Amino acid sequence: MEELILLTGFMGAGKSAVAREVAKRLSWKVVDLDEMIEAREERTISSIFESQGEDFFRDREHEALKDALNMRGVVVACGGGVLLRGENRAILKGHALFNLNASFKELYRRICGTGDTRPLARCNREELEKLYESREHLYREVPSQIETEGRDPEVIADEIVKRYFSRGEAV
């Protein structure tokens, strides 16, 4: 079995926290696509969005994803927009990809409860809900869905590890 797990889901779904817990359980490393992009570009995601726009960022995200798919012994926390591009959805097929779910109400609380710096969030509830609704179908299309609402990252990570090892049966 390929030693690679990928996590997706809307902003605030808990991808980074859950990735850390999954990696701890498997003694693997965490790879965060946003951090990979920031390190390569030597600036923050916000500054990339500001100076070069979303398309440029999506190109870098695609490259980072392609590279991450060649890694082993890693849990990859993808950015919340990774499923927007068909080419990303295509190359993710066949890999152990888990989508982390929560209701919009809960996601909004998690994203905006403590102030946020994500360029696409801006914490305007209506705008953010529109963004969520425009993407919901993409998250739902991921075969392996993980419910996160009211659950701690540790519990979610246990479920992911269990389902990862039973892949081929039913995930």
- Which residues bind to ligand S3P, rule: CB under 6 A? 11, 15, 34, 45, 79-81, 118-120
Helix, strand, coil percent values for the chain (each to nearest 5): 55, 15, 30
Give CA–CA dist 91/35, Å, rounded. Answer: 20
The nearer residue to ligand S3P, 29 or 162, going by C-beta atoms, is 29
Minimum separation from the CB atom of position 72 to ligand S3P (A): 22
Minimum separation from the CB atom of position 81 to ligand S3P (A): 3
Minimum separation from the CB atom of position 158 to ligand S3P (A): 22
Give CA–CA dist 77/17, Å, rounded. Answer: 9
**Cα Rg of the chain (Å, integer):** 15
Give the contacts of 132 (CB within 8 A, at least 6 positions apart): 10, 104, 107
What counts of helices (H) and strands (E) characterise the chain? 7, 5
Minimum separation from the CB atom of position 93 to ligand S3P (A): 20
Minimum separation from the CB atom of position 149 to ligand S3P (A): 17
- Residue 8's nearest CA partner among 92, 112, 115 is 92
The nearer residue to ligand S3P, 8 or 164, going by C-beta atoms, is 8
The nearer residue to ligand S3P, 79 or 153, going by C-beta atoms, is 79
